Structure 1
């Protein structure tokens, strides 16, 4: 967003509550994390990732890529770090009043919120008691955290699948709890990242048909793995 505003000559200010750029890749991923989409489909359209990056870059490589992008596009000078927004409200004249953690306020013609959706931990609430340790995926930092433990992962999103795989490698056992049947897709198909296959411009019904056939060939019936049939 900052690069787009700058390229169009729109004056702007950028603030970040963290002490450095990179968002979740800076402070919210574990040491062995890798992206689930390919570098080709994840990179900015006009700023490809380095040729020596693997198909699925690591968390540290993603952070380095974002930092490089900010430097090369000369964005760092307009970013104020360690500056947290605590409140914003629209004014009658269509401007926005923004309040910062230190009590200062500022007024802007427009407001763009780009805080992502990984910054706030969300825990489900269940009846009963559990005396063992509970950890949010954002607080998982290294596979050694679950070494030798029986692990139950709640949720089948990207983070949940990552946690289940890490626990299967280093833990005593790994189970995953899902509200309904999920479609789990392979990251690689026919020797290429799934996100790089030339199917995503096709009509959605045709995409789904191809993916169903792909799952049948590469994975088979999910029920063989103790999973529910996708709903």
Structure 2
């Protein structure tokens, strides 16, 4: 794989990778984006069919490239994928598709990046921007090995028609769990299994979408370390449809079941119920296994970093980690702010800033 040794390799060609590429270019360095998929749109084409953004178009844009159409609408999955593809053309950076990174090692004056086709390349600097979709969080459930129904993560869910007439339990209390349970309930009998009651947050307040208040109040910029003290439970953004559906019995909420059995679940009151499908909407973990050979991750596979700057390897930075620097760090609206923070520091290091002062 021919890449000049002075290039900055960016792993991931979705919103985070493209934000990083623009920042690398603007800091006078040469970005090369390696994207595993067939389009420079990251994981968006692989999300479930009905997914829409929880933020309006006006709050879902990359710098100097407004999202087209009505700024108050909520863009669909396909619209976001198309938008990112156009943004890649707009910034004019090199993107190599069908290029999955499998491992990164330390090399002389930089890194050695290995790909699934058996090739490798050297890079002066590295931006890990591969998101989390490729690493779904799969909790081990008591009795799951005995369960003969379908057990899958929402990453593998696409649309509801195949579940018509079935009994489905969706595990999770966040946005995706509720959105999927809501649409499945059109064709199936659905329960939402959660540890705590679902917490709804109005999508609109005082004549504005919530994201107006996130931006004007500064909440969008609050540091991640503070958010654990503020956000006690997952919040589901709701225009009223989801809470109304739950209250009307379109789907119901049950305390998390205690175990799976061969043909279903055991609820907390001891009742055993036959279930066809258990759908896990249990979130994702950083998709960074390719950094294990480098020694940049902790024992649980999480990156060792401070605000997106690797604390183990100079020359390595991250973009798109959840709560990396703020509430909006891994969103379309937030990734560019983080890229504009970490990339100038990377550029300073690659520009021999330590040598310039005699270190």
2:91 to 73, 83, 89: 73
1:112 and 2:130 aligned:
no
How far apart, in 2, do the equivalents of 1:226 and 1:14 lie? 43
TM-score (norm 2): 0.53
Structure 2: gaps of 5 or more residues: 1-19, 231-236, 256-359
1:176 and 2:195 aligned:
no
Secondary structure of the 2:89 match is: helix
- 2:211 matched residue in structure 1: 195
What is the CA distance between 1:94 and its match in structure 2?
4.9
1:15 to 31, 34, 47: 34
Over the aligned positions, Cα root-mean-square deviation in angstroms equals 3.1
How far apart, in 1, do the equivalents of 2:202 and 2:175 lie? 12
Secondary structure of the 2:30 match is: coil
1:33 and 2:51 aligned:
yes
Secondary structure of the 1:138 match is: helix
How far apart, in 2, do the equivalents of 1:186 and 1:227 lie? 22
Q: For 1:1-231, what aligned pairs fall within 5 Å after superposition? A: 1-26=20-45, 28-52=46-70, 55-75=73-93, 78-91=94-107, 93-128=108-143, 129-171=146-188, 173-197=189-213, 200-201=217-218
Q: Kindly indicate whether the alpha-carbon contact (under 8 Å) linking 1:34 and 1:56 is maintained by their aligned counterparts in 2.
A: yes
The one-character-per-residue Cα deviations of 1:169-190 (angstroms, maximum 9, x if unpaired) are 332x221111234532132334
Q: Kindly indicate whether the alpha-carbon contact (under 8 Å) linking 1:39 and 1:56 is maintained by their aligned counterparts in 2.
A: yes
Higher normalized contact order (CA 8 Å, seq sep 6+, divided by chain length): 2
How far apart, in 1, do the equivalents of 2:67 and 2:152 lie? 33
Q: Kindly indicate whether the alpha-carbon contact (under 8 Å) linking 1:17 and 1:82 is maintained by their aligned counterparts in 2.
A: yes
How many residue pairs end up in the alignment?
213
How far apart, in 2, do the equivalents of 1:14 and 1:31 lie? 26
Change (3 A) 1:137 1:102: same
The one-character-per-residue Cα deviations of 1:183-205 (angstroms, maximum 9, x if unpaired) are 32132334432112365326979
Change (3 A) 1:189 1:144: farther
TM-score (norm 1): 0.79
Q: Kindly indicate whether the alpha-carbon contact (under 8 Å) linking 2:114 and 2:121 is maintained by their aligned counterparts in 1.
A: yes
Change (3 A) 1:18 1:47: same
Secondary structure of the 2:137 match is: coil
How far apart, in 2, do the equivalents of 1:227 and 1:38 lie? 31
Q: Kindly indicate whether the alpha-carbon contact (under 8 Å) linking 1:86 and 1:101 is maintained by their aligned counterparts in 2.
A: yes
